[in-house]
Amino acid sequence: MSGDNVIELRGLTKQFGAVKAVEDVSLNVRSGRVVGLLGRNGAGKTTTLRMLLGLMRPTSGTATVFGHRYQDLPCAAHRIGVSMDGINPLPGTTARRELRIWARALGLPTSRADEVLGRVGLDDRADRAVKGYSTGMKQRLSLATALLPDPELLVLDEPANGLDPDGIRWLRTTLRSLAEEGRTVLVSSHLLAEIEQTVDDVVIVQRTVRYAGPLSELTSEGAERLEDRFFSLVGSSPGTTTGATARGRVDA
């Protein structure tokens, strides 16, 4: 691992038949930063995260976290907390029971479940069946699950989906507090206005990297809007190629 880079992607490419979903993605994510992975639906964000986490094999290139491929990283499940679609609670379970099951699987005390329930604001609803939760409450539970092992790195795929304005504001504050504790947060999203208020660094992808670097550099210290810079790089519609690819600094 180079310097204080937590994540390093080098030439990462994924091809499905004749279609390249991700092409030649190279970037670094530095320690202690909140990094927004931005792109349209279908731009390759989730595919990139899946390759990073060893859930999908790249066609070419490498993805390492803490200097190792995820599947080779010692104690990976303790060092990295993940919130992604497909990690669903057991049928009929409550939030408290779900988290206690995860805690036991990770070799953690069951009291840790109560700690993270409090942090995500579900302690007063912890014994309700998860099937009755709103989408926003399920997002909070997913974040609680990711936080269980007290990870150094959080990888969150669209965590603001389903949150109301209060929930989005809470999420922003929570992500910033996690970075202030020395953690690194990689969060994928298509909510540009919210990301602009949350992150330190930005990675914009449209199959390949269009920009990777500080948000302040991309927006000229706030003189330009993130939304305007985003569309200048990826085009105003899915079929448009307006704006040259701009990698910026490869460090995000």
Provide DSSP, 201-235. Answer: EEEEEESEEEEEEEHHHHTTTTTS-HHHHHHHHH-
Same domain membership, residue 62 and residue 156: yes
Same domain membership, residue 165 and residue 46: yes
Q: What pTM does this model have?
A: 0.91
Same domain membership, residue 60 and residue 121: no
Q: What is the per-residue pLDDT for 85?
A: 78
Q: Which of 36-50, 123-137, 238-252 has the lowest mean pLDDT?
A: 238-252
Placement of tokens 């990297």 in the chain: 209
Tokens linked to 2: 């180079």
Helices 135-147 and 111-119: crossing angle in degrees, nearest 10, is 130
Listed residues 128, 150, 172: the one ending a domain: 150
In a domain, 75, yes or no: no
Same domain membership, residue 163 and residue 42: yes
pLDDT above 90 (res 241):
no
Same domain membership, residue 106 and residue 142: yes
Q: What is the DSSP letter of 183?
A: -
Same domain membership, residue 248 and residue 189: yes
Q: What is the per-residue pLDDT for 68?
A: 97
pLDDT tens-place string over residues 78-101: 999 999 876 777 778 999 999 999
Owning domain of residue 185 = 1-66+152-252
As a whole number, the mean pLDDT across the chain is 91
Q: What is the per-residue pLDDT for 248?
A: 47
Q: Which of 141-150, 155-164, 235-244 has the lowest mean pLDDT?
A: 235-244
Same domain membership, residue 192 and residue 170: yes
Same domain membership, residue 146 and residue 241: no
